[in-house]
């Protein structure tokens, strides 16, 4: 008899579902408003297919920028309400001001209010249904961790922290000589015997095997896992699950078997991708430099008032293939910030000036690096370049740290939009995990996602 898990929506399925039904509910609401009110600004018909495509495009782009498809935030209605209003406001503004491809502005300006309210109402109704139904406990993935070497609390923090619908409900520990770590009250330990009964009785959706590769799981447990697997039950390896859910590479667990778990992205050798990437870098660098020249007078005034001293500073960083170059930045700290030697920048660092704090939060301090991008020393997207002293230190403490130098460093990157600001070795490990995930999977769509998420970081003033 097949032992199949309950219905559960994977991360990618939920994101696709959110995007598709956001669009469907918006179009349905606009159609209903058109039918019941004197509303003719936006009409759905075969003749107006371009209107629908453009509106859908704007909705998805700005929904990404304002984190409407961030699953953590999508599970909270208050946050969803804020993100929806921001998304709809900017979408409506861009749609109204797009010439030739959208309807002419109506004489009755009240129709613009109808247009805005219909979109906001449609998304909010669907998101309420999503939170009430799909994000409810009945659709949680109930997971059983099995193996002989793991820290159950760390596994819970890693996986549940990345996906609120992923719940570790129990574990089976096959080696009593290894510590499991602190065990939360909501997690139960189950016996090795009769695994099928445990899975069936507790509504387990998936088994995750977290085992030492040198020993593997015990033979009795292995036979039970094979029986479950043959019956169609999903069983996956922890590092595979970790990478998929957290979108990071678990380098601290890979040990010497590196290439088995970290095949490089084909884009790293793809000439078309590399050409496109360089053209994109040049275009963005020219735009960034032009923008910098426009705002430079205001930066000059701000520097005179709240950041007395030199405007620019340069610092040696490690680039592609380990070659050093000088990065260009706007100065945000006091002039003698490192008189006692190199130090990590901390949150609320006392060395940061008043104006420097604004530059960091808005990411404006990074703009001069567009010159580094134009010179080919950096890319717009890639791992952030680190200082030689920290590279030496981190390379000794973190496995595969220097692997991040196989691509050009970037102005922004996957670690910057997905992780927290790095101010310690632990933070550097997390950043490396994100960086290696990008190097492994980099492609045009991922680059576009990073650009949009970077805009979101700037909009929400999250720089440090």
Q: Beta-strand (E) ranges in 156-288?
A: 166-173, 188-189, 206-209, 235-237
d(CA 460, CA 250): 29
Query: At 393, phi and psi to the nearest 5?
Result: -65, -45
Average pLDDT by consecutive 10-residue portion of the chain (464 residues)?
59 87 94 82 82 92 90 87 94 88 81 91 95 81 81 81 85 72 79 87 88 64 85 86 86 60 66 90 95 93 85 91 92 73 65 84 90 95 91 85 89 87 74 89 89 84 60
Domain with CATH 3.40.50.20 in the chain: 140-246
Q: What is the pLDDT of residue 3?
A: 57
- In this prediction, residue 165 carries a pLDDT of 84
Q: What are phi and psi of 207, to 5 degrees?
A: -110, 130
Tell me whether strands 324-330 and 206-209 are parallel, antiparallel or unpaired.
Answer: unpaired
* C-beta separation of 437 from 254 below 8 A: no
C-beta separation of 329 from 365 below 8 A: yes
pLDDT of residue 1: 44
Q: In this structure, are residues 372 and 409 in contact, taking their beta carbons and an 8 Å threshold?
A: no
Contact predicate 87/115, CB 8 Å? no
Q: What pLDDT does 62 receive?
A: 93
pLDDT of residue 5: 56
Would you state the torsion angle of the CA atoms of residues 330, 332, 334, 338, taken in this order, to the nearest 10 degrees? Answer: -90
- DSSP single-letter state for residue 130: I
The C-alpha atoms of residue 285 and residue 273 are separated, in whole angstroms, by 18
What contacts 276, CB < 8 A, 6 or more positions away?
444
3-state secondary structure labels for all residues of 325-387: EEEEEECCECCCCCCCCCCCCCCCCCCECHHHHHHHHHCHHHCCHHHHHHCCCCEEECCCCCC
pLDDT of residue 61: 93
Residue 11: how many other CB atoms lie within 10 Å:
15
Pick among 3.40.50.20, 3.40.50.300, 3.40.980.10, 3.40.640.10: CATH of 140-246: 3.40.50.20
């Amino acid at each position: 008899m097949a032992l199949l898990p309950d219905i559960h929506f994977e991360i990618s399925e939920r994101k696709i579902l959110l995007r598709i039904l956001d669009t469907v509910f918006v179009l349905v609401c606009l159609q209903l408003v058109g039918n019941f009110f004197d509303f003719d600004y936006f009409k759905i018909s075969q003749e107006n297919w371009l209107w629908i495509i453009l509106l859908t495009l704007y909705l998805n782009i700005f929904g990404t920028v304002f984190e409407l498809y961030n699953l953590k935030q999508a599970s909270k209605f208050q946050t969803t309400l804020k993100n929806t209003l921001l998304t709809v406001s900017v979408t409506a503004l861009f749609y109204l001001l797009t010439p030739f491809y959208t309807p002419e502005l109506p004489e009755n300006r009240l129709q613009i209010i109808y247009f805005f309210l219909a979109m906001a109402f449609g998304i909010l109704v669907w998101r309420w249904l999503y939170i009430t139904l799909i994000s409810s406990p009945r659709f949680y993935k109930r997971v059983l961790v099995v193996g002989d070497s793991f820290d159950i609390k760390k596994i819970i923090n890693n996986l549940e922290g990345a996906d609120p619908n992923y719940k570790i409900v129990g574990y089976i520990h096959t080696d009593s000589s290894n510590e499991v770590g602190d065990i939360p009250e909501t997690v139960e330990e189950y016996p090795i015997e009769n695994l099928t009964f445990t899975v069936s009785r507790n509504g387990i959706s998936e088994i995750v095997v977290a085992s030492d590769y040198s020993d593997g799981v015990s033979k009795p447990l292995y036979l039970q896992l094979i029986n479950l697997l043959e019956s169609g039950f999903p069983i996956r390896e922890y590092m595979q699950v970790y990478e998929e859910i957290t979108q990071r590479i678990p380098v601290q667990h890979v040990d010497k078997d590196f290439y088995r778990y970290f095949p490089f992205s084909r884009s790293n050798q793809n000439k078309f991708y590399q050409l496109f990437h360089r053209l994109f870098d040049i275009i963005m660098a020219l735009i960034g430099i032009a923008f910098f020249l426009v705002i430079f007078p205001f930066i000059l005034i701000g520097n005179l008032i709240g950041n007395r001293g030199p405007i620019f500073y340069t610092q040696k960083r490690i680039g592609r293939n380990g070659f050093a170059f000088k990065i260009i930045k706007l100065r945000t700290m006091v002039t003698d910030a490192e008189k006692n030697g190199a130090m990590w920048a901390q949150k609320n660092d006392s060395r940061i000036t008043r104006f420097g704090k604004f530059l960091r939060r808005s990411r404006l301090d990074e703009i001069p690096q567009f010159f580094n991008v134009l010179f080919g020393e950096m890319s717009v997207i890639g791992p952030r370049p680190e200082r030689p002293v920290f590279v030496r230190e981190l390379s000794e403490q973190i496995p595969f740290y220097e692997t991040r130098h196989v691509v050009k460093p970037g102005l922004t990157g996957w670690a910057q939009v997905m992780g927290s600001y790095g101010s310690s070795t632990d933070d550097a490990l997390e950043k490396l995990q994100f960086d290696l995930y990008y190097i492994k999977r980099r492609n045009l769509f991922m680059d576009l996602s990073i650009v949009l998420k970077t805009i979101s970081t700037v909009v929400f003033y999250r720089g440090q």
